[in-house]
Structure 1
């Protein structure tokens, strides 16, 4: 039908199908800023304004919008005669750091714009209500609310301070407009920072607020075909027969692939060293499916609808096999064998469903227990959860004009994907190019190599561009998850609280395939136990196969799960010894100059890891938290009323014990205008790291930061990076670009010395200007021109960097809460994170990152859990049912950045990726234990679980009093 619409002020006429959604129509017309998210109206990523009212475009038919005025983010960005810049609302999002992955930003801005049009002076509650239909998984809602209130003030003409001036010296402005002090090294206090240490938005932030960021699904190539995956309805089954004849015969279907049609080459989504034996236990398609959502077949057709129709025509005869749906069941004598295939490689013990085993010992644990005055044991359980990123899984593959296979994906590890594509498709690496595009929420879930492999295979088979996507429901079932952890701790202590022996035994699942970090990096000792080193230590972990989705290294490579157990355990030891929990920790935490005994354990036959604390500010972090919580006044104040209050604390560290040695390369090129192109192979999802590296490069060379253009995540232009974690990106990529930048500075000064007739050592380079002692000056632009047109040479540098010891960062996190003992409801009153950050590179982004991680952790602690029925079917089938926090959920998040300059860090900085996530769960659990008088050892801390623990403790107390 013909439809007339006014879109962003322009009247257009479009032909739409009767069942076409407004979202599909707008994206077909090129409005890709309207994101495709949940497809149920729950996430708000597709929000548009219909006659000024925010509406989700995914649940509205295009026909319903006939005659309406539609506004997308492009209209908010449109320049006016008076201005060519951003709208104040967009600028406010930049100024306060309310953007991270950017996927939700367009919809969030439109909802905020509608509010400000109606109410130019909103209160905080008004803003939260207006944004309640827009989800964000990366940034704290406090930041977003702060941005909207700031924009309202700007639009009213109020006097508003420059948000970006709140840096290391002045403090950081939080969502509730209070000032948070930032402790700094004395050398940093002497003058305000110019580049490193200065707040600035992410380098990609402007494109996000303008709706111009290109996610994979936003790419359209003429002649593009669409692929969909048929997924398994069974948790464990063998395909006895599969009939694809009707699907192949459907007009518009170009190919249907099953396990019979694809190369059978084992691979792993986890990045490994070249000679690492595995486990390699996945295939592009297999005759055995191992979880609900596993890949069975793939179809490519002219339209997504045709591909979906073809999937329904595929007939599969399954032999349903017994399934393992509980981690403990995997080790039972009669348990079914999940990986019986003979061509998988590197599995520790396939007959017992053991993907990997890790063991590390130091001292004599049994002797330590024998000498202890008290032995405390406990078991702690962390559930299986989903990351629920707003962006779906996509992969676009095509052949370029030279016949090279190009794959565009929202992967976080493009170089690893290229290596595995070469392996599975049988193509030389030189014929493959992988481009990592914007990632709408990473969290480690973007390791799904199966999509890239299948899309590449289909592009080769059809000689056409192929976009392979998971619809939202399939993506929710098929994507990686954080698996369940069962942690058993046993500690032997003296009466004064000194730890003599510590033992951690871990049982966890890698799901159907060995993507779990422990399976990827065998024989690496626990990072968690390093927090409290003692003479006698043991760490034992078994990583088991189950018929559940594969595990992903979400937010900390298992550290949050182990920290939950360890920090709850430390509180229990303190309770048994009648010691203050903080004092117990202070007597045992790792000190500057100490080594972690278990780090001496070798890694797969390589040299032992070095793991020594160089400099740390943990005592200062703890003191900050104690002061903010008024710990000594509020701790242990027991109440018998219905509502009880408690405070709790937890510590964590972020170090190197979970990382294998790696390396990275970088290249720097000086352009004619004095700008620099920097090429480094880090993932595209880490926009905060990109910005931090730009600041380091600019400071190292001595130029303004906007003269640095950084290029990442393209295997055709960037050097390889061996390491897929956030720490790898920060330290490996950072070390490489800093070394290349130092070389570039030397080349510039050497050439300037020749031009000025002075020794290069006498020159100074700052803000892009070279100054000689004689008073003469040159600009970097003049140096570039002289090099190219006089000496006829291009100034370029390259460098590689090998991972050495990563400096250890620490966090102390504290919580004050109240609990209703009749309903089990928990309400957070205060949440404080004090982070030992080394040198602060960008205070604005550091605070935003820590707040966002803490918000995820709070919700994970209180409510998130995935469950499956007895057949392995997930009880939640789409992300809209997985209740995520909204702007209406108010969690007071306070961040303090504490500096402790690290000489082996990146410009003195330490990695903080994910550290805000680590200790929040045990801090909440310990606060609940303080309020209720009983420990809580299993997450999530739902009202039902809280009530059960409370009543069980009451009954135990009654029995004790009776006896």
Structure 2
């Protein structure tokens, strides 16, 4: 291959590191109105009275919105394909506030000082209500949403009165019989905390009206096309009146798969006709957007004494917070993309409920539920290995899915139900496990090594899978345009959020057209200009959009051959295109692509060749990973240090190995944060205590030890040039591998993340 499987640097890499890249706020006009949001100090309350009289008189205030003067129409902020599985439970502003940080009023003024002053002058009288803060009590508590005009477009088990946002229930075989016939049964409970995405660029948007009176929304988002639809619904205007543009993004990790900042300046611009912008503070990100869903799982596993797992039963509760964005889909992923790892079981069952509380809303974060489910199941598998006195690697080798295998569960949990079995022909999980075992010197170090009287090192491991897009749900398109000097413009709706997808998709286009990569110019994410793409989520971009790029390239080659035949006055079958020249086969006459493109534009056929390709995944193409951790525990303080983390990843054929490894390393760092550092604390009244980076601790480079990533030499026939995804699978194994390593080091079993020094020391 010419450009695929090459470690090409990011196309925009130099502009990023030299500070030349332009982000949303860089484009906002200097005279844009500054928008601020007054946020609730209470976890649950009804606004009895709100008085903006004094605030409106402050010189320079353009407008103020409260629930009394905005349209009341329920919508969901979740960036999902339509119809969404998330409830329509959010209003632009409402008389109820449901978490500390919820929206109370919107203020626009000529500058930040004026907007802040006016915001402080708004007088609000609240009827403070009893908040729902205990996840296990939520179903029997007072409704977080007492209003009756919210709904779901699809049946997901929604029950407003019982605070149930969604239910998931699927099974394979007779679970009770399989457990009864098991020689050993373990029952455990595991929980993971909410986790902040921690992207560098906070949510921000600016808006203006174009020359035709259309609303233009420039925003830092992962989902420009979904934002257009969500805004149109919330504002009750046609989608044709909205244009969404995504500039360079400073990270998202799922936080920008939910529409957040777009509503406020849009309202202001529509009201005043003036440009408006909002830039979230870091505190607003913590209290006013979304985090990973906190979860708790009860797991029962049955096995025989030889290590054959006969039954797995998972029952989960999902804290979706005040609103239900992504609740059903993340909860479902925690079962569907986790239980299918173990395909030798006689029976398995998954029951889950996502419940409203008066916490900050849960949403999308790298791993999208699979991270939580993997922590629970892989931790239980590690505990089962201890009960059976079997090496955890051996236990997995007996039970995990391998190349060429399938499970009926795939058809139960996907839209392919009832169809032919889906075989994992590209699965290299077995290789990943064996290679990781070798790289970390498992046999020499497992289970632990005593370093000194106060320091002990332990080993742990876990496996995981994820998805490559969403089969039969999400769609991507790509358009290629041949320009009049022989180069191509690649128009993408796909959203590069720092992953390097613009570069990767450019490589795929260049490979498909057999041209140099500098012959492809990428333009991405403008809903008026670029073709539809579901967005940067579900590990879909390389796989789904990559296949759409190949489809567009194949159509472009057909057009070049067809118009080449017209140029040479022959038939299509007599024409070849080698990336540089159009060749007439029978006499070897040829014309360069550069000259050909000029002639068809200016002198001959007077046309421009444009081709659009689309792709919808039809089959699951999971990436796999085996993760291995060696940690050192200080027996005097309980502090845990990661010494080594080895990740071996099966992502098929990597389009760009360098960028793939960077993705993996970043995911492992986030997993270390989830496992050891990122603790979420609320007061008894429901206020998030650690709502800045001073209190909410994320790991730095000094905290992550040695991280080594190796990519398996794989190939998936359904992926673009054999590629599968890598963006999310890389976070999932980290927490269960680390907590198992802690146990092997010092005998402390952490089932409630994070494994802070306090928790470890108390058990010691």
Q: TM-score, normalised by structure 1?
A: 0.75
Aligned to 1:778: 591
Aligned to 2:150: 344
Question: Within 1, Cα distance between the matches of 2:471 and 2:132?
Answer: 30
CA contact (8 A) 2:206 2:277 kept: yes
Q: State yes or no: 1:787 paired with 2:600.
A: yes
Which 5+ residue runs of structure 1 have no aligned equivalent? 1-192, 952-963
Q: State yes or no: 1:565 paired with 2:565.
A: no
What is the CA-CA distance between 1:945 and the residue it aligns to?
A: 1.2
- Corresponding residue to 1:536 among 347, 369, 378: 347
TM alignment of 1:606-645, pairs within 5 A: 611-637=422-448, 639=450, 641-645=453-457
Q: State yes or no: 1:848 paired with 2:626.
A: no
- Corresponding residue to 2:300 among 484, 490, 509: 490
Aligned to 1:247: 55
What is the CA-CA distance between 1:771 and the residue it aligns to?
A: 5.3
Q: State yes or no: 1:896 paired with 2:696.
A: no
Q: C-alpha deviations, 1:387-414, integer Å up to 9, x for none?
A: 2222122111110011110011101101
Question: Within 2, Cα distance between the matches of 1:365 and 1:318?
Answer: 50
Root-mean-square deviation (CA, aligned residues, Å) is 2.3
- The 3 A distance-change label for structure 1 pair 606 and 363 is closer
> Could you say what secondary structure the match of 2:262 adopts?
helix
- Corresponding residue to 2:98 among 290, 295, 307: 290
What is the CA-CA distance between 1:629 and the residue it aligns to?
A: 1.4
- The 3 A distance-change label for structure 1 pair 273 and 523 is same
TM alignment of 1:82-101, pairs within 5 A: none
> Could you say what secondary structure the match of 1:440 adopts?
coil
CA contact (8 A) 2:258 2:363 kept: no
Q: C-alpha deviations, 1:924-948, integer Å up to 9, x for none?
A: 1111122123432121111111123
- Corresponding residue to 2:403 among 586, 592, 597: 592
What is the CA-CA distance between 1:857 and the residue it aligns to?
A: 1.2
Q: C-alpha deviations, 1:148-194, integer Å up to 9, x for none?
A: xxxxxxxxxxxxxxxxxxxxxxxxxxxxxxxxxxxxxxxxxxxxx52
What is the CA-CA distance between 1:524 and the residue it aligns to?
A: 8.9
Aligned to 2:749: 935
Q: State yes or no: 1:475 paired with 2:289.
A: no
Question: Within 1, Cα distance between the matches of 2:353 and 2:670?
Answer: 27
What is the CA-CA distance between 1:723 and the residue it aligns to?
A: 5.5
- The 3 A distance-change label for structure 1 pair 671 and 609 is farther
Which 5+ residue runs of structure 2 have no aligned equivalent? none
What is the CA-CA distance between 1:605 and the residue it aligns to?
A: 12
Aligned to 2:29: 221
Aligned to 2:733: 919
> Could you say what secondary structure the match of 1:881 adopts?
coil
Aligned to 2:325: 515
Question: Within 2, Cα distance between the matches of 1:658 and 1:567?
Answer: 24
Q: TM-score, normalised by structure 2?
A: 0.95
Question: Within 2, Cα distance between the matches of 1:236 and 1:877?
Answer: 18
What is the CA-CA distance between 1:557 and the residue it aligns to?
A: 0.7
Q: State yes or no: 1:406 paired with 2:219.
A: no
Q: State yes or no: 1:256 paired with 2:67.
A: no
- Corresponding residue to 1:601 among 369, 387, 412: 412
Q: C-alpha deviations, 1:680-735, integer Å up to 9, x for none?
A: 22124254222111111110011111111222221101222235514233333222
CA contact (8 A) 2:314 2:349 kept: yes
Question: Within 2, Cα distance between the matches of 1:447 and 1:655?
Answer: 17
Question: Within 1, Cα distance between the matches of 2:414 and 2:121?
Answer: 49
Question: Within 2, Cα distance between the matches of 1:605 and 1:373?
Answer: 34
> Could you say what secondary structure the match of 1:282 adopts?
coil
CA contact (8 A) 1:862 1:940 kept: yes
- Corresponding residue to 2:232 among 416, 422, 427: 422
Question: Within 1, Cα distance between the matches of 2:518 and 2:469?
Answer: 36
What is the CA-CA distance between 1:519 and the residue it aligns to?
A: 5.1
Aligned to 2:46: 238
TM alignment of 1:66-77, pairs within 5 A: none
CA contact (8 A) 1:523 1:602 kept: no
> Could you say what secondary structure the match of 1:899 adopts?
coil
Q: C-alpha deviations, 1:313-372, integer Å up to 9, x for none?
A: 0000000011112211212x3x12101111101271111111000000111100100111
Aligned to 1:693: 505
| Greater Cα offset, 467-476 or 430-439 | 467-476
- The 3 A distance-change label for structure 1 pair 497 and 198 is same
Q: State yes or no: 1:677 paired with 2:483.
A: no
> Could you say what secondary structure the match of 1:543 adopts?
strand
Question: Within 1, Cα distance between the matches of 2:287 and 2:79?
Answer: 23
Aligned residues: 756
Question: Within 2, Cα distance between the matches of 1:923 and 1:779?
Answer: 56
> Could you say what secondary structure the match of 1:380 adopts?
strand
